[in-house]
Amino acid sequence: MARKKQLIIPIFIPFGGCQHKCVFCNQEGITGEVELPTIDEVVEKIESYLSTWKGVGRREVAFYGGSFTGLDLTLQDTYLGAVQGFIADGRIDSIRLSTRPDYINEDIVRHLKSFGVKVVELGVQSFSEEVLRLSGRGHSAEDAELAVEILRGLGMEVGLQLMPGLPGDSVERSIESALTARDLKPDFVRIYPTLVIKDTPLEGMYKDGTYVPWKLIEMVKLCRRMLDIFNETGIKVVKMGLHPTKDLEASIIEGPYHRAFKDLVEGRQVVEGSP
Ligand code: SF4
């Protein structure tokens, strides 16, 4: 059996650093994590993953589930500091984290680099101003473009997350977003179709009829077109659809969810009910 080439140790910081909630988001619901982890928990999790890792490639610690660079600076340094011993003794190669486009500037990126952060994933979601506004994102498309420019300029690896199907979205707007993302030349992309998750403002919008979830077949077709746009230029789409877990599935109210969503898009499975 081939040995795994990359270990990513996920540390969830649910809503950490988020100044407000985007209408679609419930990190606590989909991850099952409610509190910010303590430093002991961070260290224990890293030790636990490393103790069972039999692969050969890059080992990274990833801070996901919030806006890392929106955390209080002392807390950022504490989390990043907890990984430094593992980097110093060669057991961890680098750190990656996700954050919002408007929480990036040159000083922030230099600071992250000084702690061994090599990859930043930006929750862009859409490059349509209307979609961003209706989704309560609180940043502009220009913020996302500027953040990518700063990160690339300082030698950081950049990933972009896109969410087709948000309020106000359309096939045309999602394709435009994919084209804009492609032109920014990220190192990789993640595509997360919008789902209606329990205890979010989007749930209320769905229930009062102001948001209509996309059908699975529509979303599969759209994501196929988005995938082709990235494939044509060699940009890796590392994820399509949320990772299926019990917590996630218990939180989904409605929307284009399938456990093997990427397989549907790549034609390895057939969407039920499609012609
Ligand atoms: S989508 Fe990102 S920025 Fe928005 S509330 Fe969720 S974690 Fe925070």
Task: Tell me whether residue 270 is in a domain.
Answer: no
Asked whether residue 201 is domain-assigned, the answer is yes
DSSP letter string, 197-231: ETTSHHHHHHHTTS--PPPHHHHHHHHHHHHHHHH
Half-sphere exposure of 130 (CA within 13 A, CB side): 9
Q: Hey, CA dihedral for 269, 272, 274, 275, is it positive or negative?
A: positive
Taking CA atoms only, the protein residue closest to ligand 1 atom 5 is: 21
Confidence of residue 1 (pLDDT cuts 50, 70, 90): low
pTM: 0.93
Q: How far apart are CA 193 and CA 241, in angstroms?
A: 6
Q: What is the pLDDT of residues 5-25, one digit of tens each?
A: 789 999 999 999 998 789 999
Number of domains the chain is built from: 1
What separation in Å is there between the alpha carbon of 14 and the centre of ligand 1?
9
Query: Separation of 99 CA from ligand 1 center, angstroms?
Result: 8
> pLDDT tens, 100-117?
999 999 999 999 999 999
Domain membership flag for residue 199:
yes
Domain encompassing residue 144: 6-265
Is residue 273 one of the residues assigned to a domain?
no
Q: Identify the three-state secondary structure at position 171.
A: helix
Whether residue 215 lies inside any domain: the answer is yes
Classify residue 164: in a domain, yes or no: yes
CATH number, position 231: 3.20.20.70
Within-domain flag for 11:
yes
Angle between the 171-183 and 216-232 helix axes, to the nearest 10 degrees? 20
Q: Which residues line ligand 1 (CB under 6 A)?
A: 15, 18, 21-22, 25, 27, 66-67, 100, 123
Residue whose CB lies within 8 A of the most ligand 1 atoms, among 11, 20, 22, 36, for a mutation test: 22
Q: Is residue 272 part of a domain?
A: no
